[in-house]
Structure 1
Amino acid sequence: MPLQDRYGRTLRYLRLSVTDRCDLRCSYCMPKGFSGFEEPADWLTFDEIERLVGAFARLGVGRVRLTGGEPLLRRDLPVLAGRLAALSGVDDLSLSTNATQLDRHAAALRAAGVRRLNISLDTLRAERHAAIAGRDSHARVLAGIAAAEAAGFDPIKINMVVQGGVNDDEVEDMAAFCLDRGFILRLIETMPVGATGRASGQLELGPLRERLARRFDLVPAALELGGGPARYWQRRDGSGCVGFITPISQHFCASCNRVRLAVDGTLYLCLGQEEKFEFRPLLRGGADDAELEAAIRRAIELKPERHEFRERPDKIVRFMSQTGG
């Protein structure tokens, strides 16, 4: 029986955080000086992750994305990737990364079975990147992107969180950069998750979408690329596309097919709500596979109908990095 929530949505996509640590401090994600990280003893082990992902896969959740924090800070991540890629039912394994470590790991990740990458890049300007990310790492990110190309990753998606008064003036430059290189640009509205998210320059993407459509001759496209929430616009000649992720101005809750598992085994059912389910006690308490699968079905029943980012922007106090990207 498909894994469905109370509203008839079929869950097929698990975003799996393997660490809440990050080597950057992006202004909308994690505050400078933050030190409230999970203790390593509370992280799910590779064995626990494999068991739990296997249970999700048996219930029809075939898409798994490795996230963080910055997932490449988790030691031996390609080993875990290989174990997950080999699980029956996992048919799409992908990774979100800030790419600062990617030049050292791209080939191993590809060999392990990761097929798609989402790379965060909020600006093409080195000084601005340092201001947004809290670290001068722009050259490392570009080197990571080059290594991903050399390793054969295709498609490569570039995620740009658009902030008014911060980087919205270079959206067209970023689109040209990505379209020229065959990357898929995804523009993302800043979400009010934690104090950092609320303090960022929130901007609705509608006017930018119209501007990009005129400049690059984009038309709405019926594309489904990776099972995520982006709505894609494609060049009329088919030579490239740009995705728009609009949780504020045009939410996609009615078709939400995903849940997020934090590094400590907490399953969050919605970015904009507090419903959650703790799996670590079950995993460390001797639960068998049937009990894990039953617990997953109970957890999915908690998934709310929609977020309340507009109505209650101050509701979520946890930071994005604590939830999992």
Structure 2
Amino acid sequence: MLDQYGRKIEYMRISVTQKCNLKCIYCDPDGENCKGSEDDSLTPRELEKITRSMVNAGIRKIRITGGEPLLRRDICEIISRIAKIDGIEDICMTTNGIHLLKMAGDLKAAGLRRINISLDSLKPEKFKFITGGGDLKRTMDGIDRTLELGMTPVKINTVLIKGINDDEIDDLIELTRNRPIEVRFIELMPMGSFGADNRDKIIHNDDLIAARPGLQYQARTDKGSPAIYYQMDGYNGKIGFISPMSHQFCADCNRIRLTSDGKIRPCLGNNGEVNIRQALNLKPEDFNQIVSQIIRDKPRGHHFDKDFKSTRAMHMIGG
């Protein structure tokens, strides 16, 4: 389905929980907001119903997010229900990888095809600092397990923060030498207090690219993807750059977001959202009409460049 600006909206990110087992400095450094219960989270049946309506409106790709989605005890049921919906072409997940080693096999069996893993440092102590207590080995073991299962390409998401982890850029790129991995560098966004208060720690991806002449540009195959990809000569994997601060890619945005408490948020950098949970008991045709209207009304672009302050922290939206 096309929105009012002619963009084909076909990708939905579903946050299944606000809970998280880490306390990342750019998300929720004190961890208080990540301790919430799942009482307000959409049930597997509710998620399935909303997703079916979204598919009727043109959604084809689903990404499961959190918080940390692997904290949901019924995560495999959620994936299985969504994966069986006719019209879904791709279903993947973003996770911090802490529980991935033991769960990857079950996730694949449930219908999950690919996994993105947050990885902001390759140094154990720094990783522990950035994540508020994370164990780097557990995340790396999870990455290896997904590769063993053939859930490729495995995508690594790294939020770069000046003075904290920008000394590891080349080490992270090196992960792509012998593995089918896509390492993606993400510019720090003003989401939550850390991002809003530390705009001076934003690193523009253009500077990273200019400093590395060995990077070879890869023609875009997915116009809706926010990442621009490069590759080092002879390397197996790719390096992606997601640049919401220096390069607004809203004109090609093809996504909407469903929060764990039942709100549809058409734009990450815009506070507008609709409570779709309240409409779940409507007749299917009425419910579908509301969904279609939400897609049509998706805003033109984000407000990150206008002293934007989000009403929700990142873990409450799902990225």
* TM interval, short-chain normalised: over 0.9
- Cα 1:274/1:26, change in 2 over 3 Å: same
Of 230-239 and 89-98, more deviation after overlay is shown by 230-239
CA–CA distance in 1 between the matches of 2:208 and 2:292? Answer: 40
2:298 matched residue in structure 1: 303
2:277 matched residue in structure 1: 280
CA–CA distance in 2 between the matches of 1:137 and 1:80? Answer: 27
* Correspondence 1:292 to 2:287: yes
Deviation of 1:225 (Å): 5.7
CA–CA distance in 1 between the matches of 2:250 and 2:224? Answer: 14
Amino acid at match of 1:208: L
Q: Write out aligned runs for 1:19-34 (5 A).
A: 19-34=17-32
Deviation of 1:83 (Å): 1.3
* Correspondence 1:206 to 2:206: yes
Question: Structure 2: any 5+ residue segments left out of the alignment?
Answer: none
The 3-state SS of whatever aligns with 1:107 is: helix
The 3-state SS of whatever aligns with 1:15 is: strand
The 3-state SS of whatever aligns with 1:42 is: coil
Q: Do the aligned residues in 1 keep the contact of 2:224 with 2:252 (CA within 8 Å)?
A: no
Amino acid at match of 2:55: A
Amino acid at match of 2:273: K
The 3-state SS of whatever aligns with 2:115 is: strand
Deviation of 1:114 (Å): 1.0
Amino acid at match of 2:58: G
- Cα 1:157/1:139, change in 2 over 3 Å: same
CA–CA distance in 2 between the matches of 1:180 and 1:202? Answer: 30
Q: Write out aligned runs for 1:1-325 (5 A).
A: 3-35=1-33, 39-200=37-198, 201-212=201-212, 214=213, 217-224=214-221, 227-236=224-233, 239-283=236-280, 286-313=281-308, 315-325=309-319
Output the TM-score relative to the length of structure 2: 0.94
Give aligned pairs, total: 317
Amino acid at match of 1:117: I
CA–CA distance in 2 between the matches of 1:136 and 1:120? Answer: 11
Output the TM-score relative to the length of structure 1: 0.93
Fraction of identical pairs, as percent:
37
Runs of 4+ off more than 6 Å = none
CA–CA distance in 2 between the matches of 1:255 and 1:25? Answer: 32
CA–CA distance in 1 between the matches of 2:223 and 2:127? Answer: 27
Q: Do the aligned residues in 1 keep the contact of 2:21 with 2:34 (CA within 8 Å)?
A: no
Amino acid at match of 1:110: K
The 3-state SS of whatever aligns with 1:141 is: helix
**Once superposed, what is the RMSD of the aligned Cα atoms?**
1.7
Amino acid at match of 1:291: D
- Cα 1:167/1:218, change in 2 over 3 Å: same
Question: Structure 1: any 5+ residue segments left out of the alignment?
Answer: none
Deviation of 1:234 (Å): 2.6
Deviations 1:99-158 (A, max 9, x none): 001011101111111111110001100000011000041111111112111222111011
CA–CA distance in 1 between the matches of 2:112 and 2:48? Answer: 15
Of 224-233 and 315-324, more deviation after overlay is shown by 224-233
